[in-house]
Structure 1
Amino acid sequence: MLPSLFIAHGSPLLAIENNAYTEFLNRLSGRYALPKAVVIFSAHWESRVQKIGDVEAYEMIYDFGGFPDELYRIRYPARGSRATVEAIEEQFALEGIAYEKDGRRGLDHGAWVVLRLLYPQADVPVVSMSVNPNLIPEEHYRIGQALAPLRERDILVIGSGGTVHNLAGLNRRNTGVESWAVQFDDWLADCLEHWDLHALFDYERRAPFAHEAVPWMGNEHFIPLLYAMGAADRAQASKLLHRSYVYGSLSQSCWQFG
């Protein structure tokens, strides 16, 4: 059975950089069997009702500005998966989770940057999923739980975001690592390794520097972790595969669940 994954996508520059993190992501897919499809929750697709991308062939969304022209020339010709969409619909219906299908939206950089590093040939079908920042953590986790049976069908569930993602707190000189970012990630790692849902769901009050790591009105990058973790609720096993930082505090982490 495939695990579920949380993968930090950091800056859009990740798509053209060559560093320890990109090398790690290039190798990551080799750890697992080739999935029949990928279901990916991206921090850059927000909606008040859960959306499912029901697209035959995805267009590119360049949802960033002021970056090198090279980024805007990248193409990732991902195709959708009608069978996987139907499987998601079936699970949401069983669990009473409201949803809507979207047949037009392309892939934003939270999705295509990650997918291009994992599967550069675009040979794995993709179903994009939105995130809802207005839900409480338990509800994000429950949506992930509903998708747990997909893993038994060799479908890979990915949450793409960032555990520490505060653009106002970045060190543009890219020197050193902020201690507050490390302290938050250390606290989070302890929660994940012990599968401490009570603490995790209450991270805003319990975690050190929670409001610096996950700023007010900025939880869209953190919550993909909860969808990915929920998809492995039956196993409740976690493993940190990579952690590094850029710009002082922007966390580049990857967690395996299940």
Structure 2
Amino acid sequence: MGKLPVYFIPHGGGPWHVIKNAMGDPIGYGQLREYLKNFGEQYSQKINAILVVSGHWEEDLPTLQFGSNPPLLYDYYGFPESTYHLKWPAPGNPELAERIENLFKASSFKTKRDYKRGFDHGTFVPLMIAFPEANIPVVQLSLINSLDPETHISLGKALEPLRNEGVLIIGSGMSYHNMRGFMSESSSAAGSSTQFDDWLTQTVEINDTKKRNEMLINWKNAPKARESHPRSEHLAPLFVVAGAAGSDKGSRDYSGLLMGIKVSGYKFG
């Protein structure tokens, strides 16, 4: 099997994957759907489990799902009733969660366990498309609510050994996450997303791990940083992934427009 890559993927808006008009952008979301579908086909027969860090779960300490059969957490609002009855019964993996807990302890991180929380839409929406059979065990890991970039990179570094154990590590967020910008359909928001996306891609693709991580830590200095991320919870999964990447170089693995906004995904290794 060898050492698996790590990924930062865009998960889109709400339950877009089952909305008939795809949030008003069938072309953009159609491209994202195709990417996620191909992504899943690439790994469905090659991995033992999946670890997801979603932009939709924050705790005071890194918290791990320990449930054996997590439900779905319909953490979105204002969508058709049918979207609150979706099913995707992927199993949890308490053994993997305990393995991750021990990796964190070895890196001096205190952790918490959660036995009840379900998969939020940052996890189940993209994975329903990528792995529709729902037969691969999945564990979710929370962000730390400080959203400190350096801490999350260190968190990711502790996870790197999993890549040699058949665990596919996925950061699920968005390279741009300003809801007002998405809804504005303005050229200003589109321009901001492009400027920040260009900086983010150049940073990820730097062939110098130390410099890459330093630039990610100081992401607020990037062009249009705060216009693209008024709050950084959808960018923080990328910090974890960059840490788990170790010295592996990153590259842009997905590039598209959603509602006129530039959005990218990245692969390391």
Q: Same fold (TM over 0.5)?
A: yes
1:256 aligns with 2:267: yes
1:146 aligns with 2:148: no
The Cα shift of 1:243 comes to 1.4
1:209 aligns with 2:224: yes
Question: Matches of 2:217 and 2:236 in 1, distance apart?
Answer: 10
The Cα shift of 1:152 comes to 0.4
2:140 is aligned with what amino acid? Answer: S
CA offsets per residue over residues 175-196 of structure 1, 9 Å max, x none?
Answer: 8971111010100111110042
2:155 is aligned with what amino acid? Answer: I
The Cα shift of 1:172 comes to 5.1
The Cα shift of 1:160 comes to 0.6
The Cα shift of 1:171 comes to 3.5
Question: Matches of 1:115 and 1:178 in 2, distance apart?
Answer: 27
CA contact (8 A) 2:197 2:263 kept: no
Name the SS of the counterpart of 1:65 in structure 2: coil
Q: 1:200 aligns with which of 193, 210, 216?
A: 216
The Cα shift of 1:70 comes to 3.1
Q: What is aligned with 2:26?
A: none
Q: What is aligned with 1:230?
A: 243
The Cα shift of 1:210 comes to 0.6
1:56 aligns with 2:68: yes
1:26 aligns with 2:41: no
Name the SS of the counterpart of 1:49 in structure 2: coil
Name the SS of the counterpart of 1:112 in structure 2: helix
1:83 aligns with 2:95: yes
Q: What is aligned with 1:93?
A: 105
Q: 1:44 aligns with which of 39, 51, 56?
A: 56
Question: Matches of 2:34 and 2:252 in 1, distance apart?
Answer: 16
Question: Matches of 1:70 and 1:248 in 2, distance apart?
Answer: 27
CA contact (8 A) 1:9 1:252 kept: no
1:186 is aligned with what amino acid? Answer: D
2:38 is aligned with what amino acid? Answer: R
Q: What is aligned with 2:11?
A: 9
Closer, same or farther: CA 175–74 of 1 in aligned 2, 3 Å: farther
CA offsets per residue over residues 85-140 of structure 1, 9 Å max, x none?
Answer: 12101211110111101001011101101211111010110111111241421110
1:184 is aligned with what amino acid? Answer: F
Q: 1:106 aligns with which of 101, 118, 131?
A: 118
CA offsets per residue over residues 139-187 of structure 1, 9 Å max, x none?
Answer: 1000011000001001011111111100122245598971111010100
Cα RMSD between the aligned structures? 1.8
Task: Show structure 2 runs of 5+ residues with no match.
Answer: 23-28
Query: Which TM-score applies when normalising by structure 2?
Result: 0.89
Question: Matches of 2:122 and 2:186 in 1, distance apart?
Answer: 22
2:234 is aligned with what amino acid? Answer: H
The count of corresponding residues between Structure 1 and Structure 2 is: 253
Q: 2:256 aligns with which of 244, 247, 251?
A: 244
Q: What is aligned with 1:158?
A: 170
Runs of at least 4 residues off by over 3 Å: 171-177
Question: Matches of 2:175 and 2:223 in 1, distance apart?
Answer: 13
1:116 aligns with 2:128: yes
The Cα shift of 1:229 comes to 1.4
The Cα shift of 1:39 comes to 0.7
